[in-house]
Structure 1
């Protein structure tokens, strides 16, 4: 069952997040803020994807622990900063006060900074003895690229600059591929680096990751219209309030749902056509889960 697999691996990565964060104690406002921000009910899709690919490649998931924790730190930092008044100005995240509302705005900025920078400390220090040094360097390079101007940050800026404007589908695609897609593609690429995947295997898995990232964002766009605070843990309609370009705003809600179904079908086919069905069944189910989630 996918649900039990997700729950088991969610608990596994959170145990290791707590372990690494327990090493940080001072300044207390920063260490406590980091724990508050990252241990607040996230789905842990990114580290779970990393574990899934490692298992597909016949590797132990323990080899991916430092990278999995670092991924969640980078993802959490992006959410902390997204919630700030200068960006989305949100008061709640997953049903709890956002970090800057809990600790203060200046503290929120620094907590986000600490999550980002400590992620690279984990990648460089905690991977020693687990994987080869050349793989560590490659992982750090890929992570910095995908979380920076050539990835998440680039997508976030174009997203901000597009507020209140009518953008074309190519611009929207750029926003989604970079703001959301790159950090969903990253765990798959990291697992391929650790597991010495062939070029053909990498290509197929990266194409699956691209489709998964797009499906994830389209579903987010739909949930911002059809979701509810109890499930999402944050106000509904923020995209409309901020006049953000989304798939529903450009092509309509029903067409967005149809596109989501098509993308998920393509993602499933990419796996089923290229990998053993037994070994890759969770990747197929994950695509379905993303399309059917309510938060």
Structure 2
């Protein structure tokens, strides 16, 4: 069957249509006929070979992709929350040829739920990885209603979900944005919007002189933005940054693989889409044959919403 993958790690041009074997279906698993796979920065890193040392598969092809949506084609013994024909979405732990960019994908039952009833499969494919990461970041920080959360990269997919989920949790949100993205971030629900940039910590402190209680650093500014957080505050990071040990700040590197089979959390996100709490944003779709161009677009930057490959 067809997949979009690489035979040799490299730039976007390395992506091509490759032939892969179907995955066997076991107990507790679900087979999806894939219609959409969202593209993320993690995928571009995988394509370039950044994670090759962690991959147990040492021979090509390698297929990226962590977000998938489509139609349930088969369910294994013990799966009761889905039925053949259901529109569904899931999160993929990619390795070797088993990423999301393929026509057929087998997932653990805990990693796949019904797609939101008010969303297309393309829209649904944008939710699992970023949505679960945002939820995990907030759960790690465990802020209480009324406390203040700062969000960097608020116009991005992860940051946007953090803003919306934080507001649903009763937090006050201060978020960064470029001038062009300010209205978008306000529409997502941010209470205060400050201009993005290397001095964003100063801008946040101007609004909250005592510092914020927590920070979700979606723009990966690491040490630059830490001055915005009060002593002893919580910081959720998305690239493993663990801070400098100063001021009693508590760091929570947020690794979505830890919750990749948390079906209850993924299904809660589905319900929040249906209830209007979360907004699914698609920037553009490309047929799988144009995966290279999808990666080029993402790497050029400035994408608002997710790029999605279609099968």
Normalised by the length of structure 1, the TM-score is 0.25
The structure carrying a bigger strand percent of its residues is: 2
The structure carrying a bigger helix percent of its residues is: 1
Normalised by the length of structure 2, the TM-score is 0.24
